[in-house]
Structure 1
Amino acid sequence: MKLREYYAYVFIVATIVTLIFLSFFPLVPVGDEELAGISPTGVHYNLSLPVGISFSAFLALMLFFISIVIFYGSKSLFYNVLIDASAISFIFLNYLNFFLIYETFKPEILVLPFFVEISFHGTKSLVLDLGQIVLIVFLYRLYRRAKLRVNNE
């Protein structure tokens, strides 16, 4: 299979996986978090959207972790597509979540290597950015697959 065809399948499966995980959005146990976000200025924030997308991203991350641990090094086309598709799905949902956090709270967000610093009303938080780590693993797999294709031809 050509590299272009393989990644066409990967993006199709990643789209399907992302839509499946987004369909779990209504099942998120939001509870009191919907209106719990109160800023120091007294503004109420609806947190259901960022919490729901975060839950969907968590499901994609778990699929990626499980598939990479169990199927890494497999010669099966299906398993390799599943690994790469779950990586793309998580990366998309992770950065969509950061975007929604920005749109909801309007904090200052600084992207650092492997971390994201979020500043909100004088409070700073350093968050491990798993999206960058999964992106590096995905790009390594892409590079290795492309290199194998060049060496085999």
Structure 2
Amino acid sequence: MTSAPWDNVSTKTYILYSIGGAIALILLTFPLAGVAPLDEPKVYASDGVYYNLGVPVGISFIAFINLLIFIISSILFWGSRGLLKNLIIDSSALAFIFLNYLNYYVIWLVWHPQITILPFVFLIKYNNASAIQIDFGQLILIAYIYRMIKRWRRPRPLSGLESVKPVDESPQPGGVQ
């Protein structure tokens, strides 16, 4: 009985692979921050202060790209037993989670709004205006934790038994029955 490559890797090793894949995915998509579409000027002046919008918009753009990679790979590969397919799903999830919260941190550094993290939403207050935004980072984090718990609870074959083939004891054609 052969097991899939997905089963041959321990959960701790798999998590390290997915972290490494997330770092690689961030490094691959990071150059795309420069081509992020800006509707307003790159440098915005308000009350005598100049804000550079390129950095927050660029990080938001590459976070969106990683979210799209997660959604598309989840639709195509969820439930797959292949190691690479599952690494694409989980690495893009970790990359999006990191970039999502990095984006909110950069927004806080640039504008200094009051940001309150609530379950599944952000409450942002700036200049007497309030906004509620859905926190997709928490939703993707829940999906990632669910996948890791599901993987961790999956029964594994005992060591040494995967190389032993069971003997076929069924009656053979032409043999004594």
Could you state the TM-score of these two structures normalised by the residue count of structure 1?
0.92
SS at match of 2:81: coil
Opposite residue 20 of structure 1, the aligned amino acid is L
Shift of 1:35: 2.2
Q: Which residue of 2 aligns with 1:66?
A: 72
Count residues in correspondence: 149
Find the aligned partners of 1:75 and 1:45 in 2 and give their Cα distance.
47
By percentage of residues, which structure has more helix?
Answer: 1
RMSD of equivalent CA atoms: 1.3
Q: Which residue of 1 aligns with 2:50?
A: 44
Q: Which has the larger radius of gyration?
A: 2
CA contact (8 A) 1:13 1:81 kept: yes
Structure 1 residue aligned with 2:36: 28
Return the letter of the residue paired with 1:145. R
Mapped partners of 1:69, 1:51: distance in 2: 27
Report the AA paired with residue 108 of structure 1: Q
3-state SS in 1 of match to 2:42: helix
Alignment correspondent of 2:20: 12
CA distance in 2, matches of 1:113, 1:32: 31
Identity level (%)? 36
Q: Scaled by the length of structure 2, what TM-score is found?
A: 0.80
Q: Deviations over 1:91-125 (max 9, x none)?
A: 00000000000000000000010000000011000
Distance 2:102 2:141 in 1: 14
**Distance of aligned partners of 1:19 and 1:37 in 2 relative to their CA distance in 1, 3 Å threshold:** farther
